[in-house]
Structure formats: C-alpha cells, structure tokens
Amino acid sequence: MKWFLKCIRNYVNFSGRARRTEFWYFVLFSCLLMLVAMALDMVCFRNPYKFFYLLVSLFLFLPQLAVSARRLHDTGRTSKWLLWNYLALLAWAVAALVLSGLSAFAGSQAASAWFLIVLCGDCVLFFVWEIVFLVWFCLPGTRGENRYGPDPKAGEEPFDGVPAGEPAPEEGSAGSAPGEN
C-alpha cells in the first residue's frame, strides 16, 4: 500500500526512477480500485463502466503515466516511448472512426473488409507493442546512477544482508565467521 500512496503523492513527477516494486504495487492496487469501482457501478447503475469506473480511471491516469515514465527511466529508457504508445492508440482510434464512417457511407462489403483488415492489423501491432512494454517494465533497473537519477535501490539491504551494488561474500572466504565453512 505504501508504494501505491507514494505514486499518488508523486502523481505528476515524471523525473527520477521507480523500482519494479513501486510500479507493480501501483498496478496491483490500481486494478483492485478499478474492480471496486466496477462493482459499485454494477450495484448503482447496472453497468460496470459508468460513473465510478470513469472517475477512478481519470484519478489514476496521471499517476500511472508518471510511474510508467519513472519505471522506464530506471531501465535506462526515455519516457518518450510512452508518447509513442499513446499516439499509436490515438491513431488506432482515429483509423477505426474513419474506416467505420467510410464503411457505413460506402455500404459495400469491400469497405467493410478493409475496415476489418486494418483494425486487426492495428490490434496485432498494438498488442506486440504492449508486450514490449511489459518486458521493459519487468526488467531490472540499471545498477548505480544513470542519466535519470540515482539508483532507487542504493543503500538498501536485500534479503541476503549485502547492500545493493556490493558483491556477496563467497563461502569459505577469509572474512567468514568461524564454523561457517
């Protein structure tokens, strides 16, 4: 929950870096909030995509964009990739509207076939693009400082007790305690 609240507090902070933990906990709690909003809409309006869903979607849009940008920064990538993602989505929506309008006015089977071919092609490209983003969001961040800021893991104690960025002591090394060999 603390990671989700951290993202909400930094809802317009597009600089710096975000760990995988911060990003994925934000995604988890966002999904849970969306499910609650859909349930409320079903109870109140008998439609899962009404008032509460739209309200939560609008509330989470900027924090999601910001944490995604910071997550890309942590992997050494520019947040401009997000711009391309949204432009691709916008292009798909415009193509869908234009082609559906042409198809409706032409009234021919050929126009409808082109409409389906273009939309299916766009859907496949968009799906592949989202897989690329999923992989990028799952990759570990660059160790140490990069051009977007310091390592968010710097100075933390991982599970093995060795600070991040330092090599773990080898078994049987001179620095080991007696009886540990």
Q: How far apart are CA 46 and CA 102, in angstroms?
A: 34
The residue among 107 and 7 whose pLDDT is bigger is 7
Tens-digit pLDDT profile for residues 147-181? 999 998 886 655 455 455 555 555 544 554 554 44
Tens-digit pLDDT profile for residues 112-129? 677 778 778 878 888 888
Tens-digit pLDDT profile for residues 45-67? 887 778 999 999 999 999 999 99
Q: How far apart are CA 87 and CA 84, in angstroms?
A: 5
Please give the biggest Cα pair distance in the chain. Answer: 85
pTM value is 0.73
Kindly tell me if the per-residue pLDDT of 17 is higher than 90: yes
pLDDT at 111: 62
The residue among 44 and 117 whose pLDDT is bigger is 44
